[in-house]
Amino acid sequence: QVQLVESGGGLVQAGGSLRLSCAASGRTFSSYAMGWFRQAPGKEREFVATIGRSAGSTYYADSVKGRFTISRDNAKNTVYLQMNSLKPEDTAIYYCAAGYGSSSLGQYDFWGQGTQVTVSS
């Protein structure tokens, strides 16, 4: 079992930056690929980024490629999402998840409660 707690969300102006963190409990953090997803009001949850168990591989949605960076620190049981050049369309609740990787929600077994990111124009 893995419990995930996100933090770092908030209100930022367009063009600004935020760094999200996701702290995981348990000793098996390094056994899981980690992902970030987001859900805007009235829309389905969508993939943002994923990182492999040893941080050797990353993959991004086209909409965030070049602006967002996912990373992890297995010693701290934490995964991060650095978000730069934020746009109003990035406004959403951001969720971290632990599982088998990929861009598919179904490949993730554990989810955090989410953190709100609001980008003003």
Which whole number is the average pLDDT over 86-90? 98
pLDDT class for 99, splitting at 50, 70, 90?
very high
Which whole number is the average pLDDT over 85-95? 98
CB neighbour class for 53 (10 Å; exposed up to 12, middle 13-18, buried from 19): middle
Q: How far is CA 2 from the centre of its chain?
A: 16
Amino acid letter at 99?
G
With tokens 């348990």, the residue in question is: 26
pLDDT class for 54, splitting at 50, 70, 90?
confident
Q: What is the pLDDT of residue 1?
A: 83
Distances, alpha carbon 72 to alpha carbons 11, 35, 62, 88, 89, in Å = 24, 10, 21, 26, 25
Instruction: Please say if the pLDDT value at position 26 is more than 90.
Output: no
Instruction: Please say if the pLDDT value at position 8 is more than 90.
Output: yes
